[in-house]
């Protein structure tokens, strides 16, 4: 018996192609062609990859379908595409004799199935196809909106000048590591450093939580936790602390004091006109959070410190063993303690190569710092076990943090 799948099912397959396009750096549009309830061809945007302005998802899928059928006449077939076809793709659809076209998101700039004009309703054309629009429109539109937001952010970020005493990691090294549900932004602070931060802002947000990652990691540590906060109406701000991630990296370890980091964060939050109700700080970033609150009038801000319970060797012990006057190279013991068991892509980012050894300042300047007990007043402290991947918090820890923040 032939199983009849829904339009939503086939559009979800087209969305998978759009995601592949996004990962390849193309505008995220995908398409599939269906014959007798079965997908016989797939396509995604490849204009950049092939240096071909005609390589839209629909055209790529049509060519594959023609090869599969052994003919350029594709009568009786259905095409599912995540974005309303343009004039070029509509023409290719007519020439291929596609019977039915289903699209997801409308295109108010180049759409030719009803938005800008409707070629499918022109009586003088020698072929007509049935058209249905708006299938999984939110999902199809959302991936495009996020893509162009990140593109604009990258363009703005590239225009921010680089200080002579600073290094900057290429965004290429973060390919596949930045989750699409955490929009990227860049802020040029008063000291001239480019700060990368993620700002997840629900349509109606009740309160704001500031999340400070562990050194030498970056904001992606909070990706799962952010989803929990967003669904509960919290605005979540997750910066890459200076020296980490996509934020600028001072070459001198002496810069990495609690006061320096607190100044940069205070500047960012002032720019956003935000006072966080809660600050979650992992590991040594708790000192920064404490300094930040003490230097402001945020008496009502709650501080939550999450540290690791490590049976092998404590962060403090590792730091003392390799601090002082000894030069710490990027693969000495203290670094290995933090980089152990990272995925290959995470490790590649954390040890990103530069023309000189300046990026190791973060290891020299921060990894020997443990949480100062003199700042412990006002902190709610949690311990977490070591996981197989030090970068990840784990579901149980994330749930405990979420509940603690929610309960106020």
Annotated binding site for Zn(2+): 56, 86, 89
d(CA 104, CA 115): 13
Kindly name the residue from 8, 16, 26, 58 that is annotated as catalytic.
58
Place of tokens 């002032």: 270
Backbone angles phi, psi at 238, to 5 degrees: -125, 95
From the number of C-beta atoms within 10 Å of its C-beta (0-12, 13-18, 19+), residue 16 rates as middle
DSSP assigned state of 337: H
Which residues on adjacent β-strands are paired with residue 212? Answer: 281
Who's near 342: CB < 8 A, 6+ residues apart?
Answer: 350, 389, 390, 391
Active site residue 191: no
Total count of residues recorded for the chain: 408
DSSP structure class, residue 118: B
Q: Are 166 and 37 in contact (CB under 8 A)?
A: no
Q: Give CA–CA dist 351/359, Å, rounded.
A: 8
| Binding-site annotation, residues | 56, 86, 89
How far is residue 85 from each of residues 37, 120, 123, 377, measured CA to CA in Å? Answer: 22, 10, 18, 60
| Residue 234, φ and ψ in degrees, nearest 5 | -95, 140
Compute CA distances 192 → 82, 250, 289, whole Å. 41, 11, 21
Comparing CA positions, the residue from 221, 216, 196 lying closest to residue 365 is 216
Residues identified as active-site: 58
């Amino acid at each position: 018996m032939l199983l009849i799948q829904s339009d939503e099912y086939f559009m979800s397959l087209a969305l998978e192609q759009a995601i592949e396009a996004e990962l390849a750096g193309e505008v995220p549009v995908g398409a599939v062609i269906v014959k007798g309830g079965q997908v016989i061809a797939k396509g995604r945007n490849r204009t950049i990859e092939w240096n071909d302005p005609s390589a839209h998802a629909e055209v790529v899928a049509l060519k594959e379908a023609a090869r599969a059928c052994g003919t350029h006449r594709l009568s009786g077939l259905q095409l599912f595409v995540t974005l309303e076809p343009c004039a070029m793709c509509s023409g290719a659809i007519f020439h291929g004799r596609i019977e039915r076209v289903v699209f997801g998101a409308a295109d108010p700039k180049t759409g030719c199935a009803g938005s800008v004009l409707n070629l499918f309703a022109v009586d003088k054309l020698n072929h007509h196809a049935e058209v249905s629009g708006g299938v999984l429109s939110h999902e199809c539109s959302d991936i495009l909106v996020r893509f162009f937001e990140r593109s604009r952010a990258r363009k703005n970020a590239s225009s921010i000048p680089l200080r002579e005493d600073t290094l900057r990691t290429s965004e290429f090294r973060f390919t596949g590591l930045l989750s699409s549900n955490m929009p990227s932004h860049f802020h040029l602070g008063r000291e001239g450093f480019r700060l990368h931060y993620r700002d997840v802002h629900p349509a109606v947000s009740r309160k704001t939580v500031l999340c400070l990652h562990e050194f030498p990691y970056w904001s992606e540590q909070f990706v799962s936790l952010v989803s929990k906060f967003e669904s509960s109406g919290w605005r979540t701000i997750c910066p890459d602390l200076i020296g980490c991630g996509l934020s600028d990296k001072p070459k001198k370890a002496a810069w990495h004091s609690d006061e320096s980091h607190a100044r940069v964060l205070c500047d960012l939050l002032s720019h956003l006109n935000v006072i966080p109700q809660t600050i979650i700080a992992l590991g040594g970033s708790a000192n920064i959070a404490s300094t930040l609150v003490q230097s402001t009038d945020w008496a009502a801000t709650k501080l939550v410190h999450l540290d690791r319970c490590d049976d092998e060797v404590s962060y403090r012990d590792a730091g003392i063993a390799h601090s002082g006057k000894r030069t710490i190279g990027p693969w000495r013991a203290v670094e290995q303690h933090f980089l152990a068991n990272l995925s290959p892509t995470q490790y590649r980012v954390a040890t990103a190569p530069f023309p000189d050894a300046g990026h190791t300042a973060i290891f020299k300047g921060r990894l020997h710092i443990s949480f100062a007990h003199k700042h412990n007043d006002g902190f709610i402290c949690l311990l977490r076990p070591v996981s197989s991947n030090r970068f990840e918090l784990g579901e149980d820890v994330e749930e405990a943090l979420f509940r603690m923040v929610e309960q106020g």
